[in-house]
Amino acid sequence: MKILVAVKRVVDANFRIRVKRDGSGVELDNVKMAMNPFDEIAVEQAVRFKEAGVASEVVAVSVGPAKAEDTLRQALALGVDRAILVQHEGRTEPLGVAKVLRALAEREAADLVLLGKQAIDDDANQTGQMLAALMGRGQATFASGIEIAGETVRVTREVDGGLRVVDLTLPAVVTVDLRLNTPRFAALPAIMKARSKPLAKLTAAELGLDLSPRLTVLRTEEPPQRQAGVMVATVTELVDKLRHEAKVI
C-alpha cells in the first residue's frame, strides 16, 4: 500500500504572529517557519504504518515556494521515503491544493492520502474534504485513531458528542487530529540521510492546473485586546452586569 501525505510550510506555532501595517496579511519576513503541526502527526502515522509493514512506500507532498523544500526534507528525516514539491510562489487556497493532491494521488496510485485536519495559518479545514470530493473517495476527518486491515480503514473520529468509529474502503482520504499520536524527533543521522533522499520538483502548469487565487483578502486585523476583569461582591451584582453591561443575558 502506498501512502501520500501532505505537508505545509507555516509560521512556527511558537512564534508570535504580526499583522502587516497595511493590513494586507501576516508578516512573513524574518519569521521562523516550520511544518504544520497537524501535518507532522500525519507524517508520523504514515511512517508508523511503513514500519509496521502495512505500507510499502510513503510519499510527502507540499505546495508552496522553493523554501518549502526544507519542510519536505524534515519529513524525509522523519522516515518518509521520497518527496514531491509543487512550486508555487503565490498564495495557495484549499481548492488549488486539493486539485494538486488529486493529480499526484492519481499519478502515484496512492491507496491512502493523509493530511492534517487543518493548517494553523488559515485554519480553513477544507483541503481534505475537497480532495475526497474531487476524487470520489470515502473520507474520515478529525481522526484520533486509524487501523488498517486489508482493504478497510477503521477510523476513530473526534466529534462533539464523543467518538465515532467509521469504516472506509481503500482508496480513501483521512485527516488527522492532535490525539492520534506524538510525532518523533529526527535524529542527526536521519537528517543527514534525508539530504540524499529523492525530492522531485514540479509546477502546477506541468500538472495542467491553475492555482490562481479565487478569493480576495480584504483586510487582516489582530483580535482586540482583552479588557481587564472586574471583581463583583455578590451574585446579584454579577447578574446585573451581565444583563446591563455585557448584555449577554
The answer to whether residues 200 and 69 touch, using CB atoms and an 8 Å cutoff, is no
- Mean of per-residue pLDDT scores for the chain: 92
- Above 90 in pLDDT, residue 122? no
Q: Is the pLDDT of residue 54 over 90?
A: yes
Q: How confident is the model at residue 219 (pLDDT cuts 50, 70, 90)?
A: confident
> What was the pLDDT predicted at 25?
81
Q: What percent of the chain shows pLDDT beyond 70?
A: 100
Give the model's pLDDT for residue 246.
81
Count the residues in the chain: 249
The three three-digit cell numbers of residue 76, written as one number: 524525509
Q: Can you give the C-alpha Rg of the chain in angstroms?
A: 21
Q: For residue 103, what pLDDT is reported?
A: 96
Note whether 146 and 155 are within 8 A (CB): yes
Question: Which residue, among 59, 60, 69, has the nearest Cα to 9 in the 3D structure?
Answer: 69
What is the pLDDT averaged over residues 221-231? Answer: 82
pTM above 0.95, yes or no: no
Single-letter code of the amino acid located at 69: E
The mean pLDDT value for 188-196 works out to: 92
Q: Which pLDDT does position 201 carry in this prediction?
A: 95
Core vs surface per residue 196-211: b (16+ CB within 10 A) or e: ebebeebebeebebeb
Q: Does the pLDDT of residue 94 top 90, yes or no?
A: yes
User: In the prediction, which pLDDT does 26 show?
Assistant: 82
Q: Output the pLDDT for position 131.
A: 97
What average pLDDT does this structure show over 181-201?
Answer: 93
- Give the pLDDT mean for 97-117: 96
Give the pLDDT mean for 108-127.
Answer: 93
- pLDDT, tens only, 151-186: 999 999 988 888 999 999 999 999 999 999 999 998
Give the pLDDT band (50/70/90) at residue 223: confident
Domains of the chain, each with CATH number or no CATH: 2-217 (3.40.50.620)
pLDDT tens per residue across span 71-83:
999 999 999 999 9
- State the pLDDT at residue 31: 84
